[in-house]
Structure 1
């Protein structure tokens, strides 16, 4: 049925953060807004993905293959003493390849589907700020996504500036 496929995800274990270590070769960097989104995700949803590690028996440490940013947030932001880890047993060159695969296999969002979700949240009464906070997006990006779904629907719950009222009262007082 599942011949040849391993399931390390079925064997998570809690490991002291002091025994977990970065691998020294991960080229992945995380932008500040993505880090804040990861922090929010862990805060609201918990740790839903374990950190993938290789156990170095000689040094008695768990070297991160995937999940460095989850590890960092768990250790520094939430001050966790233990983190969920799953193990893979591979030589260094295969661990490096695995790290790259994990980094690149994240997928991208389809704009039209993302725009539909933003519009649906807006129609449910979510403000642009709330959408921005929960999805980790800039408000300008939200506005562009809303515009791509149709202007009337996009701005139905938008709070507009009162500056136009002041302008009209000043320059068109009799209207």
Structure 2
């Protein structure tokens, strides 16, 4: 049973919101977002999802480092899902002034801007949660989201690893934050092919032979005709 305090607060809020019933969608959304801002201040939970905002889609922009790609059939399925079920996951963004940069949810963003029926239904807005992190941490967040879904691209991933190393991240931190094994970090550095990515590391001849040539030797022993 709701307490007297709860009943009193809810009643006062309902009365205060009554004048909005005939207001424009834009004003309603602005008030709803402002109320969420105030509610977050007293909320005992401080995860980003506790404050989902509706933001004009034209203020949201893609990032330039996302290695995730979605095949056309999966994109059609995502569109159908949002068409039938609505948005059940917000887009994760970083705010830069009036702009919002996508950290995770680029394809959900695409659906909401490219599909006319969905765009009309949500009146040109998109649901977002804002995270406040430096660029290297945002890149890591993007990769974690992608890898958790089993989706990432090898070539762009090597670029991300290179950027993180230049930002001062150690291999061990990259492996931990991106959910990788040490060997995977090494392979991506090799794929990138930049000497400066290895400048602070000391590799013995035996270590290099084990890591670089062992897989090749194993493949050769299984398929000698290919060599």
**Once structures 1 and 2 are overlaid, which stretch shifts more, 78-87 or 10-19?**
78-87
Aligned residues: 102
2:128 maps to 1:90: no
**Partner SS, residue 23 of structure 1:** coil
**1: distance between equivalents of 2:64 and 2:150?**
24
TM-score w.r.t. length of structure 2: 0.43
**2: distance between equivalents of 1:107 and 1:22?**
20
Match in the other structure for 1:32: 72
**2: distance between equivalents of 1:106 and 1:26?**
14
**Which structure has the highest helix share of the two?**
2
Match in the other structure for 2:56: 16
Mapping 1:19-168, distance limit 5 Å: 19-57=59-97, 60-77=98-115, 78-80=118-120, 81-106=124-149
Gaps of 5+ in 2: 1-44, 152-227
Note the C-alpha offset of 1:79. 2.5
**2: distance between equivalents of 1:79 and 1:47?**
12
Root mean square deviation of aligned Cα: 1.6
1:121-144 Cα shifts (integer Å, max 9, x gaps): xxxxxxxxxxxxxxxxxxxxxxxx
**2: distance between equivalents of 1:83 and 1:20?**
9
Note the C-alpha offset of 1:6. 4.5
Note the C-alpha offset of 1:107. 5.4
Considering Cα pairs closer than 8 Å and 6+ residues apart, tell me whether 1 or 2 has the greater RCO: 1
Gaps of 5+ in 1: 109-175
Match in the other structure for 2:157: none
- Give 4+ residue runs of structure 1 displaced > 4 Å after superposition: none
**2: distance between equivalents of 1:49 and 1:36?**
17
**1: distance between equivalents of 2:138 and 2:90?**
16
**Partner SS, residue 138 of structure 2:** helix
Note the C-alpha offset of 1:106. 1.6
